[in-house]
Structure 1
Amino acid sequence: MSDLISTRPAGLPTPRAYGGVNWIGVWTLYKREVRRFLKVGAQTVAAPVVTTLLYMMVFVVAMSTSRPPLHGTPFAEFVAPGLVMMAILNNAFANASSSLIQAKIMGTATDFLTPPLSPLELTIGFSLGAATRGILVGLVTAVCVLPFARLGLANLGLILWFGITASLLMGLVGVLAGLWSEKFDQLAAVQNFLVMPLTFLSGTFYLVERLPEPFATISHWNPMFYLIDGFRAGFIGQAEGSLAIGIVVSGVLTVALAVICWLVFRSGWRLKS
């Protein structure tokens, strides 16, 4: 009897055994996420760049005569890196969160749940796809703001570290927001009441040290402050906060969020029900 149970019919394909990481599956999921936002590039890439240029017009061109240099840096050169980082943060978050909420509402989550993809591989695929959109929009935005502000290159390492880490971090936040949300209203609430306030109140347009207490101290507990401050330091060579703290905070938060995403994917919370 045991021989009959263990015998496979002739010609039946053997299930594929993946050792380690299913790189083919991860690469396929990553390409899916990238092609998804490139297919509507006017909305996902061009529109954020236009929004950033409007900020530049309002805060730099229209107010340039009334805003003195900040720490010896012209106002336009101070604001431009912060706007680029804002574009990276917002678009990395939007890519992962919109992909997951659309899959849940439209019933297409089986596209990535049925293939042999582990929770870790799902985390890698979605976060890298989100990071790609964030970095791409950031690069295009940086090129487009050059007519308004001269972007120097004081420390390429800081630019790369904070740019890549920020895109991954917000991509992971987007994954969690997309998994938690059951309708677009909930996702919009996360965007409007969490992501947007944290990015706007992180020193993009001003020096945090000039805020009255306790707001100046509270701002140093905002992780977005360290992302924007460190990224800006890579261009202008000056940081308002501690770069060492910023590097540690951004790295630890990214790893912690990756672990949380992995745990949520493994549990199937609000995804397989």
Structure 2
Amino acid sequence: MADQPQDKFASVPPRNDTGANRVQRAFPEPGVPLIHQINGLGLWTLYIKEVRRFFKVQTQTIWAPAVTTLLYLMIFTLALGGGNRMVLGVSFAAFVAPGLIAMGMMNNAFANSSFNFLAGKIQGTIIDYLMPPFSEIELMLALIGAAVTRAVLVGLALAGAIMLWPGVHLAAPHPWAIVWFGLMGSVMLAFIGLLTSLWAEKFDHNAAVTNFVITPLTMLSGTFYVIDNLAPAFQTASRLNPFFYVISGFRFGFLGRSDIGDTNLHVLQGAIGLGLLNLVLGIATYVLLRSGWKLKS
């Protein structure tokens, strides 16, 4: 019996070349992003785009807060005894000036980041944030970085304007506190603003957070007073306010004194606590961005 003819291609191994016989690579399912490395160029491009957005109207976003802060300084200084009142061993104007700078930085960081996704939802341009090949970390870093950049520019403008006020001298005995509390306060409000823009569906929602959360916490943070003058119950409430640690720690960098505690260790503990709070806010923001909450149908 004759042997059956063998397939002449049975012993030929498959070729792994660029032709038709090339082994196909596995692709992810449609809609599943596949990013192997950091998209540095895209992150930088989005960051610059957000910076240019607020810088085009710098009269409103940077210089207007400086004028508003000078009005605050003038009104409260004249209303509370002029230049004769002493607080923490310095004049009232010198006491309140660092708090006003920190307050302006935080408010503008919130204003910048709370506009991003909300404007996209209302104008129908939210796809501009969702379609590019960004990971959630890259998207978050670009938006938070732009908000902090605006806060720093506002802080510099405020410092320059306040230095024009008679009797105010901005020394820096503790530069680390100025940098740390200034940046951490700006990052904290940038995260809160980004969370607000995720949640909000119209500008009224954003305004509600500003009017009923941000403004009260800012005004009750010890910007214009020392909490030791408050009743014990209100002192406890003030110490539960994270804005208080930003204002007092930032002031410590300029004056070398703070109402956080009697020693520098208390200020350091406040700095660590603020950093941990920002870490929690960052994780929460990342989780919500990754889930597509109120961004993807």
SS at match of 2:121: helix
- 2:212 matched to 1:179? no
Within 2, Cα distance between the matches of 1:250 and 1:108? 34
Within 1, Cα distance between the matches of 2:34 and 2:207? 40
Within 2, Cα distance between the matches of 1:34 and 1:151? 28
Give, in angstroms, the shift of residue 77 of structure 1. 0.7
Q: Which residue of 1 aligns with 2:267?
A: 243
1:58-137 map, 5 Å: 58-61=75-78, 63-65=80-82, 68-137=85-154
Q: Which residue of 1 aligns with 2:40?
A: 23
* Aligned AA (1:102): A
Give, in angstroms, the shift of residue 79 of structure 1. 0.1
Q: Which residue of 2 aligns with 1:11?
A: none
- 2:281 matched to 1:257? yes
Task: Name the stretch that deviates more: 44-53 or 199-208.
Answer: 44-53
- 2:73 matched to 1:49? no
Give, in angstroms, the shift of residue 64 of structure 1. 4.0
Within 2, Cα distance between the matches of 1:209 and 1:21? 48
* Aligned AA (1:233): F
Within 2, Cα distance between the matches of 1:45 and 1:66? 28
Q: Which residue of 1 aligns with 2:189?
A: 170
Q: Which residue of 2 aligns with 1:138?
A: 155
Q: Which residue of 1 aligns with 2:217?
A: 198
Give, in angstroms, the shift of residue 17 of structure 1. 7.4
Give, in angstroms, the shift of residue 4 of structure 1. 9.4
Within 2, Cα distance between the matches of 1:67 and 1:244? 31
Within 1, Cα distance between the matches of 2:34 and 2:21? 22
- Give per-residue Cα distances to partners, 1:161-220, cap 9 Å, x unaligned: 111111111111110001000000011000111111111101000001101131011101
* Aligned match for 2:226, one of 207, 220, 230: 207
Higher RCO, 1 vs 2 (CA within 8 Å, ≥6 residues apart): 1
Within 2, Cα distance between the matches of 1:196 and 1:112? 29
Within 1, Cα distance between the matches of 2:84 and 2:40? 51
* Aligned AA (2:226): L
Identity percentage of aligned residues: 44
TM-score by length of 1: 0.92
Inter-CA distance 67–167: structure 2 relative to 1 (3 Å threshold): same
TM-score by length of 2: 0.85
* Aligned AA (1:153): A
Q: Which structure would you say has the larger Rg? A: 2
- CA contact 2:83–2:92 (8 Å) conserved in 1: no
Task: Show structure 1 runs of 5+ residues with no match.
Answer: 8-15
Give, in angstroms, the shift of residue 62 of structure 1. 5.0
Task: Name the stretch that deviates more: 100-109 or 58-67.
Answer: 58-67
Within 2, Cα distance between the matches of 1:34 and 1:147? 28
Q: Which residue of 1 aligns with 2:178?
A: 159
Task: Show structure 2 runs of 5+ residues with no match.
Answer: 1-19, 26-32, 261-265
SS at match of 1:214: helix
Give, in angstroms, the shift of residue 222 of structure 1. 0.5
Q: Which residue of 1 aligns with 2:296?
A: 272
Q: Name the one with the larger helix percent.
A: 1
Q: Which residue of 2 aligns with 1:12?
A: none
- CA contact 2:181–2:246 (8 Å) conserved in 1: yes
Give, in angstroms, the shift of residue 66 of structure 1. 7.5
